[in-house]
């Protein structure tokens, strides 16, 4: 058999590779496009759900718009605390741990919020820190260092934290004067966010 019949030229190899690549590219291209589309959709979802001010975000809970769960504990000085006895007042519960970095970061805002609410007299909300996974000594040291003089609530086995389904601090809950849970924030909050939210809820209940 002649050499002409058995020799494969460089141009033949290039032509075959180009032909094969074209077919493979045709099959792969739709999957690449689909992957890009999914990534873009995910980015849009993240952007829509993000808070541009870096504030805490509202979160769903089966407790919303329902009577608050039983929350019984003890205040700093040993005084008993029972959330059900706070009806008639707006109550804000901030679930907190003294070593939690976001809790430390939001603390100055909580100081401002408490001052704002005290300026409203009887119309202002009561504010409590619900101690979660921490000791009295740590919490007392924290408040001495960072400021703030509102009550902290302690409960055996963090029962209040469990009752509200809090998995990670900080979380902040707003309870209306009827004892109904109206809002839940996960992450850091600001004084303005809490004040505005309470006012909006007031107006919606009129």
The pLDDT score that the predictor gives to residue 206 is 87
The pLDDT score that the predictor gives to residue 55 is 61
Please report, in tens digits, the pLDDT of each residue of the chain (206 residues total). 444 444 444 444 444 444 444 444 455 444 444 344 433 333 333 333 334 344 678 888 999 999 999 999 999 889 999 999 999 999 999 999 999 999 999 999 999 999 999 999 999 999 999 999 999 999 999 999 999 999 999 999 999 999 999 999 999 999 999 999 999 999 999 999 999 999 999 999 98
SS3 193: helix
- Report the top-level CATH class of 57-205: alpha beta
3-state secondary structure 112-176: HHHHHHHCCHHHCCEEEEEECCCCHHHHHHHHHHHCCCCCEEECHHHHHHHHCCCCCCCEEEEEC
pTM of the prediction?
0.74
Written as six digits, the tokens of 83 are 């959330």
The pLDDT score that the predictor gives to residue 7 is 43
The pLDDT score that the predictor gives to residue 39 is 38
Instruction: Give the C-alpha distances (Å, rounded to integers) separating 29 from 14, 20, 35, 39, 121.
Output: 22, 14, 10, 16, 66
The pLDDT score that the predictor gives to residue 57 is 83
d(CA 99, CA 145): 13
The pLDDT score that the predictor gives to residue 117 is 97
Domain ranges of the chain: 8-49, 57-205
**Calculated CA dihedral for residues 132, 134, 137, 141, nearest 10 degrees:** -70
The pLDDT score that the predictor gives to residue 67 is 98
């Amino acid at each position: 058999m002649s050499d002409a019949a058995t020799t494969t030229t460089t141009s033949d190899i290039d032509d075959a590779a180009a032909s094969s690549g074209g077919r493979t590219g045709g099959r792969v291209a739709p999957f690449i496009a689909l992957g890009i589309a999914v990534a873009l959709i995910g980015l849009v979802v993240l952007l829509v759900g993000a808070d541009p001010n870096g504030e805490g975000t509202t979160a769903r809970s089966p407790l919303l718009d329902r009577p608050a769960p039983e929350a019984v504990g003890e205040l700093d000085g040993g005084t008993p605390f029972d959330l059900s006895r706070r009806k008639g007042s707006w109550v804000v519960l901030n679930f907190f741990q003294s070593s939690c970095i976001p809790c430390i970061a939001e603390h100055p805002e909580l100081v401002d919020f408490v001052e704002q609410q005290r300026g409203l007299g009887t119309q202002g909300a009561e504010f409590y820190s619900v101690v979660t996974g921490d000791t009295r000594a740590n919490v007392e040291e924290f408040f001495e260092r960072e400021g703030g003089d509102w009550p902290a609530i302690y409960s055996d086995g963090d029962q209040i934290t469990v009752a509200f389904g809090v998995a990670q601090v900080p979380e902040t809950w707003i309870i209306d004067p009827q004892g109904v849970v109206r809002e839940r924030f996960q992450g850091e909050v600001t004084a303005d966010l809490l004040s505005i939210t309470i006012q909006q809820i007031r107006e919606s209940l009129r």
